[in-house]
């Protein structure tokens, strides 16, 4: 990868559409995505030692330790960096100031060649809650495609309760229940201002996009803001 190659940090509340926009970027631009949430859910599904340890944390909407997440992301980034690709998305990372600082140190020290872009998803809490209550994901740990049960959504599955991509059943995420969602949203808001303050302090521009619009429109806005033609 070289300096034209981008690393986009997708920062936004649950239900903002970070995963869905990542899908567009993968499909249309050939980018790669690391969703820390997907990676952790895969560990839970495979019942690894780590998976057993984090299961309850994730179900209850709390955050997994910074140290653990930082190590995972660093490993993944180094691997992708050595393989090369046009763009990379970190979806749901960084989520805390400690993660943002660790990532920044890594970039300053070892990954100077890459262009870092912070993309903030702006969306009302109620829109996010409505999306999450209608959200389904593919239960296949290697797929985890996201669908919506909302009537007019372009993300409805073609077949009832089956994944378009791999035909596995789709279902609810354990942390997408109303009681947990409100905590996840307030946790996000609590850390968001620290993250924005940090990026402002180090002089990194934060690109803001309107995540309340349709995914197709959001993708077009994203490309314009990122100067992608």
Contacts of 155 (CB under 8 A, 6+ apart): 20, 146, 147, 148, 215
CA distances in angstroms from 203 to 23, 55, 118, 200, 224, listed in the order given: 29, 37, 11, 5, 21
Backbone dihedral angles phi then psi of residue 204, each to the nearest 5 degrees? -100, 125
Is 87 a residue that touches ligand AMP (CB under 6 A)? no
The total of other beta-carbon atoms located within 10 Å of residue 167's CB is 11
Query: Exposure of 198 by Cβ count < 10 A (0-12 exposed, 13-18 middle, 19+ buried)?
Result: middle
Is 64 a residue that touches ligand AMP (CB under 6 A)? yes
**Rounded Cα distance, 186 and 62, in Å:** 11
Is 57 a residue that touches ligand AMP (CB under 6 A)? yes
Is 70 a residue that touches ligand AMP (CB under 6 A)? no
Site string (95-114) toward ligand AMP, x via CB under 6 A: x---x---------------
Pairing of strands 6-11, 206-210: unpaired
Is 12 a residue that touches ligand AMP (CB under 6 A)? no
Is 222 a residue that touches ligand AMP (CB under 6 A)? no
**Stretch in the footprint of ligand AMP (CB under 6 A) among 45-53, 60-68, 148-156, 204-212:** 60-68
Is 43 a residue that touches ligand AMP (CB under 6 A)? no
Is 17 a residue that touches ligand AMP (CB under 6 A)? no
Kind plus residue range of the DSSP H or E element containing 144: none
Closer residue to ligand AMP, CB minimum distance, 40 or 88: 40
Site string (165-204) toward ligand AMP, x via CB under 6 A: ----------x--------x--------------------
Number of residues that bind ligand AMP (CB under 6 A): 18
Contacts of 35 (CB under 8 A, 6+ apart): 18, 19, 22, 91, 92, 144
Is 13 a residue that touches ligand AMP (CB under 6 A)? no
Pairing of strands 135-138, 146-148: antiparallel
Is 63 a residue that touches ligand AMP (CB under 6 A)? yes
Closer residue to ligand AMP, CB minimum distance, 62 or 141: 62
**Rounded Cα distance, 201 and 104, in Å:** 12
At its nearest, how many Å lie between ligand AMP and the CB of residue 121?
12
Site for ligand AMP, rule CB under 6 A? 14, 35-37, 40, 57-58, 61-64, 69, 92-93, 95, 99, 175, 184
């Amino acid at each position: 990868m070289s300096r034209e190659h981008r690393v986009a940090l997708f920062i936004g509340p649950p239900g903002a559409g970070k995963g869905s926009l990542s899908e567009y970027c993968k499909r249309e631009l050939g980018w790669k995505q690391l969703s820390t949430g997907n990676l952790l859910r895969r560990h839970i599904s495979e019942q690894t030692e780590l998976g057993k340890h984090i299961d309850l944390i994730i179900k209850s909407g709390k955050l997994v330790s910074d140290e653990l997440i930082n190590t995972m992301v660093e490993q993944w980034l180094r691997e992708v960096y050595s393989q090369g690709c046009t763009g990379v998305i970190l979806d749901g990372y960084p989520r805390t100031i400690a993660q943002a600082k660790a990532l920044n140190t890594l970039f300053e020290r070892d990954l100077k060649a890459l262009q870092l872009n912070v993309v903030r998803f702006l969306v009302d809490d109620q829109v996010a809650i409505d999306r999450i209550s209608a959200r389904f994901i593919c239960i296949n740990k290697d797929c985890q495609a996201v669908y919506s049960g909302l009537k007019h959504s372009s993300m409805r599955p073609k077949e009832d309760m089956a994944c378009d991509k791999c035909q596995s059943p789709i279902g609810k995420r354990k942390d997408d229940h109303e009681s947990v969602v409100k905590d996840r949203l307030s946790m996000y808001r609590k850390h968001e201002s620290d993250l924005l303050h940090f990026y402002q302090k180090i002089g990194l521009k934060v690109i803001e996009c309107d995540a309340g619009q349709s995914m197709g429109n959001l993708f077009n806005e994203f490309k314009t803001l990122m100067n992608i033609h």
